[in-house]
Chain A
Amino acid sequence: MSSLLNNAPPAEVDVETEFRRLAEWWNEETKYLSNIGLAVQHPAYRAIVALGPPVIPILLNELATKPDWWFDALEELTGASPLTSEIGGKVRLMAAKWVQWGRDNGYGV
């Protein structure tokens, strides 16, 4: 895996652009893993979490349009845990649950 330093963003990049860059890096290096616990430890995923609250609506919109494993990031960023064991593993239902959480909490998703 590349080091975070080698993938440092250029100065003054907006959050959306930076998210896209990091998401592409994360996908490229982890999309072959079934163990999501490992994938979310990747430096790109950690850097997405480090973008802080401004990335929350971007992650929610991603889940609304192209569900992927942004659940851990959202949980860390919001402190919320809207998922339940009844839908564990059903990725589209998990995404829908987070999108609903976003709407309920004032995010325009």
Chain B
Amino acid sequence: MNILEHLLPGLSGTSYEITSWCNSDYNCIAWAVGDGTEWWWPGRPDKSFWPAAVPRRETLEAFEALFTFLGFIPSADDVPEPGVEKVALFANRHGLPTHAARQLPNSRWTSKIGRAEDIEHDLHAIEGDLYGQVVRLFQRPARA
């Protein structure tokens, strides 16, 4: 078992794919909203990017505000829809946000795994101790 499957055991036996090299330039939140250049997190402003209009707090409410600020609305399900971009927000058992993933047109999901690689995966395959569970789904019109 590789280290990825050790930390995300739900991937074992699924058809996930590693789709990039390791990269510390951007993280899961950035990747979920279409930015492959910056590290998005509500930490110190000299170390991480976070829109100024969104509360800089590590709470579910602040992350909901982030997606709303970026034009997302709550989504009822993870069923792919033409012309619609969906993202999933994960939180741990304490309700603290841990991760976000973005749905691809082929109905699978893409995640940037921390400072490591991007992977293409089934949405719920990365739930577990590390990222917790999917707690919110959002959608917005797909960009051209």
Contacts and interface: CB of A to CB of B under 8 A. Distances in A.
B49 interface: yes
B24 A32 contact: no
Given A35-B58, A90-B38, A92-B25, A68 B47 contact: no
B contact patch SS: loop
A39 B39 CA distance: 14
A69 B37 CA distance: 15
Given A83-B47, A91-B25, A36 B41 contact: yes
Contacts, number: 80
Given A69-B115, A89-B39, A90-B38, A31 B22 contact: yes
A68 B25 CA distance: 8
Interface in B31-65: 37-41, 43-50, 58
A106 interface: no
A2 interface: no
B9 interface: no
- Leading 10 A-B pairs by shortest Cβ distance: A89-B49, A85-B45, A83-B46, A89-B38, A32-B114, A34-B27, A89-B39, A31-B115, A31-B116, A33-B114
Interface of A: 27-28, 30-37, 39, 67-69, 71-72, 81, 83-85, 87-92, 94
Interface of B: 3-4, 7-8, 22, 24-30, 37-41, 43-50, 58, 98-99, 112-116, 130
